[in-house]
Amino acid sequence: QSFKLLGFLDIKSVPCSRESVLYGSVGSLVVGLGHFLATSRVRRSCDFAVGGFICTMLGYWFYCRYNLAQHRIRQRMLKEGMRNKILFEGSSLDPERKQTGNEGSNS
């Protein structure tokens, strides 16, 4: 079963959404409880808890998406390198093949 946050964000299919919501809820608890212990003001602590949830969730969302994009770029580069290795292996374009200036002469 899929869980939809706010009725439209499918937590199961969107990368990084599950972790963002979980870290956001923990951040909400920490900020709200911390503010309550410091000031003993319930309503203001709830406001801080909501703000902590939003900030923590968005912060982790961007962090996770950035790392995911970097990972995909590295995967694409590795895949392209492996394809080129197979394509050029043994040919004159192979970068691992030793190129000498006098291949044609046997002196």
**Residuewise pLDDT in 10s, the chain (107 residues):** 666 666 666 777 778 888 998 999 999 999 999 999 999 999 999 999 999 999 999 999 999 999 999 999 999 999 998 888 877 777 777 767 665 545 555 54
Give the amino acid at 89.
E
Asked if 49 contacts 29 with a C-beta cutoff of 8 angstroms, the reply is yes
Domain residue limits at 44:
15-86
Q: Determine how many CB atoms are found less than 10 A away from the CB of residue 53.
A: 20
In a domain, 5, yes or no: no
Domains: count for the chain: 1
Asked if 78 contacts 85 with a C-beta cutoff of 8 angstroms, the reply is no
Prediction pTM value: 0.69
In a domain, 7, yes or no: no
